[in-house]
Chain A
Amino acid sequence: MWKEVGDREAGRIRPRSFASRIRSHRVASLQLSNRKDIVTPHRGAVNSLQVDLTEGRYLLSGASDGSAAVYDVQCPTDYEGAGLVAKHRHLFVVDKQVEYGHKYAISSAIWYPIDTGLFVTGSFDHYINVWDTNTTQVVINFKMPGKVYRTAMSSLATSHMLIAAGTEDVQVRLCDISSGAFTHTLSGHRDGIMSMDWSTSSEWVLVTGGCDGAIRFWDIRRAGSFLVLDQSQTQFGRRPPLLEKTFMKGLETRALSSGQSSANGRATQKKTNSGSGVKHLSSSRYLRKGAQRLHPGMMSSHSRATAHYGAVTGLKVTADGMYLLSAGSDSRLRLWDIESGCNTLVNFGAMRLQTGKPIQLAVSDDSALIYVPCMTSIKALEMWSGRTSMTFRGHYESVNCCWFSPQDQELYTGSNDRQILVWSPSVSYSEEVDDGNRKEQISVVPPPPHLGRRSVLWRLGFFVEFREIETCKPFNFCLEGLEEFRRIQF
């Protein structure tokens, strides 16, 4: 660690790689946090978790008792045991008592991706509610034909405000918040839809997984699905088998996308990637299925290919938008190359997944680790080797959902035992450095939220130094004590 800082100061390593090294180091040391307790007001299983995408500060949870709650994961509400344990109590909770509140279990709770002023909950009482965070009242609700399993909003969308809803019904519905009406129904699945996710490379592409075992890709601007994943179509590893015709093009696009996605945040992707994703996806489709002469819209709607035996319970598109991770009730985890639509045949080993409920998967921000709820534990799997790198045990009943917060490198998990657990890097990564006669305690601690992402705190003895995370240049210092950090104005 200290060596890396030295290297960075000497300019031997690039700022970006320095930051990613620190991050990956922290991610590798995740463990159950003793310092951070999230106290849930829920009286039922926690089904859905999401930290807001704008500030990375507010955690939204939806539970089986029909309640949803929001917590501040940065600032604790109170302390226990002389400041040893920080308690994060809910900022507010909405439940049955609120007007138009959900009567039955909330299966999915998501933030409005643009800001934290709205959040959306889908419930087994057939309703999707859009809530105003500040008044904690329902703004709009949508009546669905059946139980709502999953709702999703595109994090990239700039031209639409659609909530995609997967229900017991065979059709996927898109609800428009701005008009309060359904804009589309996407039909093609033969059974209810348990899981869905928006593409992270195109705002128009939606991925849905049904109880019929199919994973379908939809371009919401057209009718019908344009791609159905087939588990029997396989490829080994990252790269698809090179076809002569696509060789040059494939190489080009992949180089482009990997360059953009590996270290950039979402914000940069939003600007550059939004238009191009669909284009090359569609082009690859044409190339692959060129022989068939069908109406482009109806091309794969009759396909009965399945991605899993049994229902598809979880879907997650990686942050770079290139790969799709799916979990099925056949207790398999599959990694798909979105571009080729092939199963990459990564062996994730034998595991047991919850079959009756949709599960929420998480991927670390550099797409190296996948977090999968496996019954009472959470497994961290390496994406390309499929090896289990860590197993997080702490829950006493089946885990339903997990959420990885890329900003704090923390993992939040919700389970049937009503707990939300925080898995954080072992606090204050520290080394002892001999500096002359004096031993200095130097550590990096996550910066307080109001300092922004661009800072790292160096603790040197009693002094705490603030440095830019990119350049490692010190820009301020103060005496130790977290309370004091907050009072300093920058």
Chain B
Amino acid sequence: MEGEGGEGGAGGRKISLLIEKATNSTAQEVDPRLFKAIKQVVRSSDDQVRFSVDALMEKMKKNHSQVRYLTLLIIDELFMRSKLFRSLMVVNFDQFLSLSIGFRSNLPLPPPASIASRLRLKGIEFLEKWNDSFGLHYRQLRLGFDYLKNTLKFQFPNRMENAVRLQRERLEREARAKEILIGKFQTLTNSFPLIKNEIESTIHEIGECVRIVHPEEDTHRPASLVNDESAEEFRSSSLMQIRLAALREGEKLQENSENKAVFDMLRELYKLLVSRHLPVVQDWTSVLVRVEPADTKTRDSLLKEFIDIRNNLLSLKKRCERLGLSVNIFANEEDEDIWEEGKVEVYDNETTGKFDKHGGDISLTKVEKTLIENSESECCKAKAPRRDTLEHADDSSDSIRMKKKLLSEAPVVSWGSYLDNWGTKRDALANQRGLELESHWGRVDHDAVIPAEKIAELNVQASVYKEHLGEIQPCLAPLANGSLCQRRDLKICPFHGPIIARDEEGNPINENLSTGEESEEEAISQTADFDVDDELDLQKVAEKLAKQAVKNVRTRDNEEEKKQKALKKAKVRAHNEAVLKKAAVASTSRSEAIIEDVEMAKSKKTLASMLKKKVTRKDRIAEKLLNSRVTDTAIRQLRQGEEASYRENYPNQW
């Protein structure tokens, strides 16, 4: 017996130690490894289950919500697994409930409040779960659940009912959808002939139009084909291909004044086909696929018809596209009145090379810009001497390229009166405005001259500062809560210093290196563009690299120096603090203990630190405003004010 008792005691100590360790943490979850260990120990024997119940209930009595919360998690785990555990737990179930849910007003849950509320929610959730799964076997569970639900009117999450309700709702929704589909199907069966007629008439019309245009083509084709066949024997394959492509180009119907009406008609019809009939057919097909009507036969037949129609339409569409209709349509759709096509084509050879990646209308605006820049750059010629020299290059293609380059680089100058005297170096007569002001204000000097320098001074181009309207980059420095700082400042974030490039986690990408590389790259690209001498370029690069290296070394040295300084400072500060603390502690032993506590708290987030209430601004203000002295004076002042006003209003009443 003794041996057994000793063994039991040891076992009990082990499980209670494990539980102690598991619940002594500030985490949201129980450490899974400890969890596993507890489960393993508990599984080993019934005695262990008994010990664990005792230890867990002991923990539940702790005056700390965090401990209780973690204990509750362990209890739930064991409760769902062990029958013995359940039967032991339910014996004292009311106490357990009052400790976990805190339904008794004289035994509220202990601090911290946030975890206490979580504990309550979890407790309620678990109670419901247990009641659902084991309620039938344990009267105490039923009683507790019933009491909390029907007497105290606690809100339970209602898992089961919720699931059932969701299921029901889903079924209802599906049924409704089905009904709608069937309704659609009914209407379709009624209106099918109409739709079919409409589509067929369109198809027919398109066919007619094509036939009208086609005969012209027919005259060309045989000849070309004959040509082809005869040419085949002696031409190489590449040439052959070129030829075929040309032929295909030629085959394309060209719109001209004769068949313009037909083409317009064809375009209209095509539009109708693409924008209306095709989607309609698509829709109905999908409806037919989804619907499950009573008579599947009609459904199948309809589906077949629709698929046929769809194939028909698609083939027709392809044909139309081969006629070159689609491009025209899109052009027409997008910019009907802004730009005429002809104008675009004028600049096409210049712009397409550069802007072809943009969409149609964007390229147009670009073209517009280039136009303006063109005119301006001619005004600006004097200002850009380097370009001036370059402009005189003989090679026309070269000059065009140069021009393009310049245009892309040229600054856009806003229009102003200063442009009147752009580049002139003449003096201006001051009183030559044609108005005779004879001796009104004294003598007038008609030959007064404003010197050229003065004019230049007056006509200095005034430019209003325009804010750069690009998107301001967020700071993206990592915050304490794990997210990134979303503050947008131009250069310096008031919290995180200068805005620098950062990676996804908010760590700064080494600025120095990257910029160096960039500038190098830039230099290289520039040199490449300007076709400057290679050797010179190499030298430059070498120079730059050397500079960079020197810079790097220097910054490293600086950093080390700084570090050492900071270390020194920290040492001094620590020494000062220690001296001050010693002086303070010397007074009482109690303060010493407090300081130790504080140090402990500082070093690690502990259970005790969770209990400490955070002093908020509100608290501080309340402390200032709600103490008795302040309230008394406030009341006194108010009363005085009232009395004064009363005396003023009723001076004669005693």
Say yes or no: is A262 at the interface (Cβ < 8 Å to chain B). no
Q: Which of A462-485 contact B (CB under 8 A)?
A: none
- In the complex, chain B residues whose CB is within 8 Å of the CB of A394: 93-94, 139-140, 143
Cα distance, A34 to B95, chains bound together (Å): 19
Say yes or no: is A32 at the interface (Cβ < 8 Å to chain B). yes
Report yes or no: A396 in contact with B94, Cβ–Cβ below 8 A.
Answer: yes
Say yes or no: is B466 at the interface (Cβ < 8 Å to chain A). no
- In the complex, chain B residues whose CB is within 8 Å of the CB of A34: 137-139
Report yes or no: B143 in contact with A80, Cβ–Cβ below 8 A.
Answer: no
Report yes or no: B136 in contact with A396, Cβ–Cβ below 8 A.
Answer: no
Chain B residue with minimal CB distance to A36?
B139
Say yes or no: is A12 at the interface (Cβ < 8 Å to chain B). no
- In the complex, chain B residues whose CB is within 8 Å of the CB of A33: 139
Cα distance, A364 to B142, chains bound together (Å): 28
- In the complex, chain A residues whose CB is within 8 Å of the CB of B94: 376, 393-396
Report yes or no: B147 in contact with A84, Cβ–Cβ below 8 A.
Answer: no
- In the complex, chain A residues whose CB is within 8 Å of the CB of B136: 80-81, 84-85
Say yes or no: is B151 at the interface (Cβ < 8 Å to chain A). yes
- Out of A37, A393, A417, name the residue touching B151 (CB < 8 Å): A417
Report yes or no: B147 in contact with A37, Cβ–Cβ below 8 A.
Answer: no
Report yes or no: A396 in contact with B139, Cβ–Cβ below 8 A.
Answer: no
- In the complex, chain B residues whose CB is within 8 Å of the CB of A421: 139, 143
Cα distance, A32 to B95, chains bound together (Å): 16
Say yes or no: is A459 at the interface (Cβ < 8 Å to chain B). no
Chain A residue with minimal CB distance to B91?
A393
- In the complex, chain A residues whose CB is within 8 Å of the CB of B95: 393
- In the complex, chain A residues whose CB is within 8 Å of the CB of B137: 34, 84
Report yes or no: B147 in contact with A32, Cβ–Cβ below 8 A.
Answer: no
Say yes or no: is A308 at the interface (Cβ < 8 Å to chain B). no
- In the complex, chain B residues whose CB is within 8 Å of the CB of A376: 94
In the complex, what's the smallest C-beta–C-beta distance from B235 to chain A, in angstroms? 93
In the complex, what's the smallest C-beta–C-beta distance from A472 to chain B, in angstroms? 33
Cα distance, A32 to B91, chains bound together (Å): 9
Cα distance, A393 to B147, chains bound together (Å): 14
Cα distance, A33 to B140, chains bound together (Å): 9
Say yes or no: is A418 at the interface (Cβ < 8 Å to chain B). yes
Q: Which of A385-434 contact B (CB under 8 A)?
A: 393-396, 417-419, 421
- Out of A80, A81, A85, A396, name the residue touching B147 (CB < 8 Å): A396
Size of chain B's interface in residues, with CB distance under 8 A? Answer: 16
- Out of B91, B92, B138, B143, name the residue touching A396 (CB < 8 Å): B143
Chain B residue with minimal CB distance to A85?
B136
In the complex, what's the smallest C-beta–C-beta distance from A388 to chain B, in angstroms? 15
Residue-wise, chain B 117-150 has the 8 Å CB interface mask toward A (1 for contact) of 0000000000000000000111110111011000
Known: A376-B94, A393-B92. A418 touches B151 (CB 8 A): yes
Chain A residue with minimal CB distance to B97?
A396
Residue-wise, chain A 13-40 has the 8 Å CB interface mask toward B (1 for contact) of 0000000000000000000111001000
Cα distance, A115 to B218, chains bound together (Å): 119
- In the complex, chain A residues whose CB is within 8 Å of the CB of B146: 419
Cα distance, A111 to B439, chains bound together (Å): 135
In the complex, what's the smallest C-beta–C-beta distance from A84 to chain B, in angstroms? 6
Residue-wise, chain A 76-88 has the 8 Å CB interface mask toward B (1 for contact) of 0000110011000
In the complex, what's the smallest C-beta–C-beta distance from B441 to chain A, in angstroms? 107
Known: A393-B92, A394-B94, A395-B94. A419 touches B143 (CB 8 A): yes
Cα distance, A421 to B144, chains bound together (Å): 13
Residue-wise, chain A 370-385 has the 8 Å CB interface mask toward B (1 for contact) of 0000001000000000
Report yes or no: A37 in contact with B92, Cβ–Cβ below 8 A.
Answer: no
Most chain B Cβ neighbours within 10 Å, of A85, A395, A396: A396
- In the complex, chain B residues whose CB is within 8 Å of the CB of A396: 94, 143-144, 147, 151
Cα distance, A37 to B136, chains bound together (Å): 11
Known: A376-B94, A393-B92, A394-B94. A32 touches B140 (CB 8 A): yes
Chain B residue with minimal CB distance to A416?
B151
Q: Which of B76-93 contact A (CB under 8 A)?
A: 91-93
- In the complex, chain B residues whose CB is within 8 Å of the CB of A37: 139, 142
Cα distance, A419 to B139, chains bound together (Å): 12
In the complex, what's the smallest C-beta–C-beta distance from A73 to chain B, in angstroms? 15
Can you name 6 extra interface pairs (CB under 8 A) apart from A32-B139, A394-B139, A395-B94?
A: A34-B137, A84-B137, A85-B136, A394-B143, A418-B151, A421-B139
5 contacts between A and B (CB under 8 A): A32-B139, A37-B142, A393-B93, A396-B144, A419-B143
- Which 4 residue pairs across A and B have the least CB separation, nearest first? A81-B136, A396-B147, A34-B139, A32-B139
